[in-house]
Structure 1
Amino acid sequence: MLRSLIKLYLLVVLGAGLSVALINHAFPLLFRERITEEARESFRAFTFVLKEYVQRYPGAQREAVLAELRRQAGTRFELLTLEDLAPRLNPEQLNDLRAGKLVLLSMYTSDYILPLPDGLVARSKFDMLDSGIQALAYVVVALAMLFSVLFWVHYHWRDLRKLQDAARAFGAGRWSTRVQPSRKSNIYDLSRQFNEMARQIEDTIQQQRDLMHGISHELKTPLARLEFGLALLQSPQDSERERERQLALRKDVRELDELVTELLTLSRLEQGAGQAALMWVSVTELIDSVAADMVHDIAERALHLSVVVDGAPEQHVCDPRLVARALLNLLRNGIRYARRTIVLRAETGAAGALVLSVEDDGPGIPPDARARVFEPFYRQDASRDRHTGGFGLGLSIVRRVALVHGGDVVLEEAVTGGARFAITLPVGVAHDRWPHPRGHGPTEAEQEAGLMPKHSDLIR
């Protein structure tokens, strides 16, 4: 921190020095006329007295008077002729001198030339301040700048130390560490960003811990059943009983396979938008394909599935496989809790976004639990019964699918009192990369040429 202070101070001193140098060299050129006129006004009385003094003693007396005047004035006063000074003056100064005007040669010292009678020119020069006083003046200016910088840096330094201590504590594993700066602090916005980053990291770490706890819990149950089933197979039993045990073991193996597949899917989606293969998709065909996949499951539960696509855009850019997977997860979730009806709806949202929703007429989800249902392995049922809650990964996958498309998913209360999940897929950059100004999808010619995939390929 001290190094930063020294750099700042040196930068301020350098800037001030350059400013002084610029003033010394540029101002005499820019304001020469104005400064000269002011000097003439200031020296008008002195000029009048000096001319009168010289004119009062003509002839031989003038030489003695001028010698005495030179002796009294010191070495910085001299009497010259116009011919002596002409090579050192510019044309403008020469014209002023011939016109009887005082000519100022320097802006910061009293260095001037004054025409006298009989072609004589008096030149006088004395410093406004001697070198010691000038040095002291610059020291005072430097100290004033130093105190100003220290005053400004004090509060900045104090807040930076707080932020540094918080970062060190956070790095040491105290994830709840936050910075509490004043709203008047220079780093207030930076502190807010740090706190937001720390909160997100803490949430991520907590989610990873919960995820590992959930994975261990979910894997132990089927593994224990497998171990118990294998032990039973080793004991003598009839063929029918043995066949039942084998079927149970295969079911446990399939359950483990499904769990690992869900975990791999969630892991890939956590990597972000790079996992999405975006393309133009027919919204109607996508919805119809998803509904067709769920017909058998819905018929087994004696439920009614209503599909509504009125008002939906004809086409949208998304990854059809990921979106179909999210909708299937929502429909399976609705099947578990619906009493009679499930509604699958597609519509146009704000700014042309595609909104896909699934709602049921089940018991719904309490408001205090709605924010947590998207967490991996979370179930409302404390018993974690898979017959009512699955693995607890389906809604987490739905949320990740929405996020990789730049959208989001919300849980609301349905009109029927059940749960309504709505996925919003905004219009993204891909729409600009593959524009269709006609407002329709790719033509048959484009499909046949292989420029764009056919809709039937998107929903397989």
Structure 2
Amino acid sequence: MLRSLIKLYLFVMLGGGASIVFINHAFPQLFHEYATDEVRENFKPYAFAMAYYLQQHPDTQREAALATLKQHGGSGFGLHALQDVAPRLDADQLNDLRDGKLVLSLDAEEYYLPLPDGIIAHAPLDTQAMNGIEALAYGLLALATLLSVLLWVFYHWRDLRKLQDAAQAFGVGRLSTRVQLSRRSNIYDLSRQFNEMAGQIEASIQQQRDLMHGISHELKTPLARLEFGLALLDSPQASERERERQLALRKDVRELDELVTELLTLSRLEQGVGQAVLTWVTVAELIDSVVADVAHDIAERALHLSVHVNGAPEQHVCDARLVARALLNLLRNSMRYARRTILLRAEAGAAGALRLSVEDDGPGIPPDARVRVFEPFYRQDASRDRHTGGFGLGLSIVRRVALVHGGDVVLEESTNGGARFVVTLPEAVAHDRWHQTVSQDSDPPHVEAGVSSAGPRAPEQMRERR
């Protein structure tokens, strides 16, 4: 906005300066007759005094009188014969001189005044005394223009900032954001169109969310009935083939149930900040509880999980349940592709933020796919079998958790060659809205930085992305 203000002021000053130059140079020629009449009227006393002075001296004293007149005439003053100044004037001006009239040059900077005996007094118009005053006047004009521009831009700038803030808030998910401007605002029509657009987008997205939420809820009931029905079908008399089929059906039902749960979670997170219960959380305890949840899976896959929390703040304001869910999703994603090592790190970020990173030594993700991995149901390959698992919603949930906290998540290349996910949770601003409590009810197992959380390690197995 400051750049726009400077450009506007420069355009105004350039336009004003060009107008002043045009007036000073073109107007004397365009209005030469009018200017000549004005100078003649103003010079009447001056012309009378000079003529009277010369008439008081006889012919014998005329040379001395002319010399005295030149001496007191000032810079540029001269006395000439008519034939000496004739080349500088046109026919009309010469006729005026012969008629005893004052003549003004075409640029209105010099005058020719006829005196008795055919003498022509020639001198520049005395404008030097006015130069300083004109400079001051132009300075005041520039200042007045600047103040006028500032006054106009202030209200315009204020309304544009409101529109910009509303657009930013709408872009990060606060779909109920609207712009409230006065009808006298220069951008009132634009703000009204923005509000109409925002209302239509909010209604469309809300309908999609309600539809997904409703479908997910409705799927829960038949899935429960299927689970119950499969349990009733289990009998000791069933053949081995029937048991295998029942087991496969149970796995399919559980997979569908997990998918519905993920959809419900994503739907709730898309509702925005209202879904977060923000409290003071001890960072080390949060990390330990997450590590405890995945310790068994880490041991089964013969992986090594290193945890570093030395650089992390002692406490941070966040929703512990959502942040733990995001970390679990990242860890489970890394477990699918890590070859030997997974690194979980918590550290202090800029301006009091909390940075949580999970990286592995797997094959990594190509740069052109690092943005799309956070899209719902996106998978790097086309396979959706049980070897890789997942539904393509885990990383979407991680991103929504970060956005709910006002932060973000990025995907980078790990120093070990795999993928590195970094979640940034900014420092809380409105502390008075949040419960400043620290849970002391649980005592999760303590994990030393850099020590495997899986206990004794099983033989390591190689895992590759498919």
Normalised to the residue count of structure 2, the TM-score between the two structures is 0.46
Normalised to the residue count of structure 1, the TM-score between the two structures is 0.46
More contact order relative to length (CA 8 Å, sep ≥ 6): 2
